[in-house]
């Protein structure tokens, strides 16, 4: 019988990363999630029901020997069992005390889990713990070593203080003067000022130990999104996270950035339709000094147009200075018309005239 192909290839960088982190999680210094947490996540159950998040992903050739090693199922039977039967057998064994959380975790080695279980499920499990400095350090180091994490992307992504500090500024902020001097000296000695050279000169251990946990875990979350380990889109510079054992003196996670406020409502501008209405409702006259007999509103126009006959020109943005407001009469109502941002120097005043009262003639 051919050996079944694993869901997740160990040749892939993301799989190598997950395997390194899971193996570290099972060590005393990497224990961000316990064996009890492992059981609860992958096989939650109570006295009446259970949900299998692990065995249904394993082929019979892989899960059969595991059940047999626990002594809860004969090997031949386990190799033929359906997913539902396996879940029932494991559930009964847990309730009977034939296996406990420690045996459950030990019976499912790290490489078995990472090769067969959907990696987003595993990431959710690991990420749900309170991440220590050692766990965070291992994650960055492993991601970097297998090529999942790029040094330039790291410096482009890391930020603190709600985005006010970015890149090397974030790292430098946590360093002492002696640390900074040593960093610069090593960069000078190596002659490599690239992002990779900067990482090599300081090392992951120093960067992790001197930087607030929530800042670092935000980068890991962005990396997980970029690597399809989480359902969150990869956005650089997320600075607030949860479930993190904060470093002493670490700032509280920042709130999500609010969307930009919409611009305030503006009076009617001068698109083609508005220009046509304004021309139909009023005539424009430019006077040098004297005001018309009936003044409705006024705004400034260029010197070149000061004495021009504008009877046939529409009222538009080219004739109004930014911020100036004129008014047109339409059906007896005054409608404001606001100039756009362009750009005419003001030297004269034009007035809108009520044609209905003036009989359509020009005021003199």
- pLDDT tens readout for residues 149-165: 999 999 999 999 999 99
On the question of pLDDT at 202 being above 60, the answer is yes
Residue 143, phi then psi, degrees to nearest 5: -60, -40
On the question of pLDDT at 138 being above 90, the answer is yes
Residue 106, phi then psi, degrees to nearest 5: -65, -35
Are 7 and 95 part of one and the same domain?
Answer: yes
What is the number of other CB atoms lying within 10 angstroms of the CB of residue 80? 10
Are 111 and 186 part of one and the same domain?
Answer: no
Are 224 and 287 part of one and the same domain?
Answer: no
* Global pTM value: 0.64
- The CA distance from 186 to 167, in Å, is 18
Instruction: Name the band, by pLDDT with cuts 50, 70 and 90, for residue 334.
Output: low
Is there a contact between 328 and 337 (Cβ–Cβ < 8 Å)? yes
User: Which residues, at least 6 apart from 235, have a Cβ–Cβ distance to it below 8 Å?
Assistant: 222, 225
**Of 135-144, 231-240, 337-346, the least confident:** 231-240
Q: What range defines the domain where residue 172 resides?
A: 148-242
Residue 136 in any domain: the answer is no
Name the residue with tokens 């003639």: 361
**Of 18-22, 59-63, 323-327, the least confident:** 323-327
Are 85 and 152 part of one and the same domain?
Answer: no
What's the number of domains the chain is made of? 3
**Assigned token pair, 84:** 């539902």
Instruction: Name the band, by pLDDT with cuts 50, 70 and 90, for residue 5.
Output: confident
- Quick one: average pLDDT of 189-208? 97
Are 114 and 165 part of one and the same domain?
Answer: no
Residue 233 in any domain: the answer is yes
Are 324 and 206 part of one and the same domain?
Answer: no
Are 15 and 52 part of one and the same domain?
Answer: yes
Residue 256 in any domain: the answer is no
């Amino acid at each position: 019988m051919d050996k079944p192909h694993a869901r997740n290839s160990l040749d892939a960088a993301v799989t190598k990363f997950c395997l390194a982190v899971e193996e570290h999680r099972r060590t005393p210094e990497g224990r961000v999630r316990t064996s009890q947490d492992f059981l609860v996540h992958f096989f939650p159950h109570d006295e009446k029901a259970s949900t299998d998040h692990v065995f249904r992903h394993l082929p019979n050739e892989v899960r059969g020997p595991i059940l047999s090693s626990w002594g809860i199922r004969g090997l031949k039977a386990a190799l033929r069992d359906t997913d539902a039967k396996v879940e029932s057998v494991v559930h009964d064994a847990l309730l009977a005390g034939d296996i406990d959380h420690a045996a459950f975790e030990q019976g499912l080695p790290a490489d078995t889990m990472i090769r067969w279980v959907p990696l987003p499920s595993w990431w959710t499990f690991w990420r749900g713990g309170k991440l220590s400095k050692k766990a965070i350090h291992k994650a960055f180091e492993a991601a970097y070593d297998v090529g999942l994490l790029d040094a330039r992307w790291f410096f482009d992504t890391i930020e603190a203080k709600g985005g006010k500090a970015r890149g090397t500024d974030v790292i430098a902020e946590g360093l002492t003067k002696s640390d900074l001097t040593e960093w610069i000296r090593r960069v000078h000695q190596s002659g490599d000022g690239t992002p990779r050279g900067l990482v090599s000169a300081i090392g992951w251990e120093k960067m992790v130990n001197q930087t607030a946990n929530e800042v670092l875990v935000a980068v890991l979350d962005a990396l997980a999104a970029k690597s399809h380990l989480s359902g969150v889109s990869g956005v650089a510079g997320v600075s607030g996270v949860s479930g993190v054992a904060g470093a002493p003196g670490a700032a509280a996670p920042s709130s999500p950035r609010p969307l930009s406020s919409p611009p305030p409502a503006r009076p009617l501008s001068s698109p083609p339709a508005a220009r046509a209405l304004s021309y139909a409702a009023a005539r424009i006259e430019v006077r040098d000094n004297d005001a018309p007999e009936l003044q409705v509103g006024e705004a400034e126009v260029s010197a070149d147009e000061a004495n021009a006959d504008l009877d046939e020109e529409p009222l538009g943005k080219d004739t109004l200075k930014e911020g100036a407001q004129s008014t047109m009469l339409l059906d007896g109502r005054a409608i404001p018309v606001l100039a756009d941002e362009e750009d005419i120097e003001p030297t004269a005043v034009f007035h809108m005239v009520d044609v209905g009262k003036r009989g359509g003639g020009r005021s003199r």
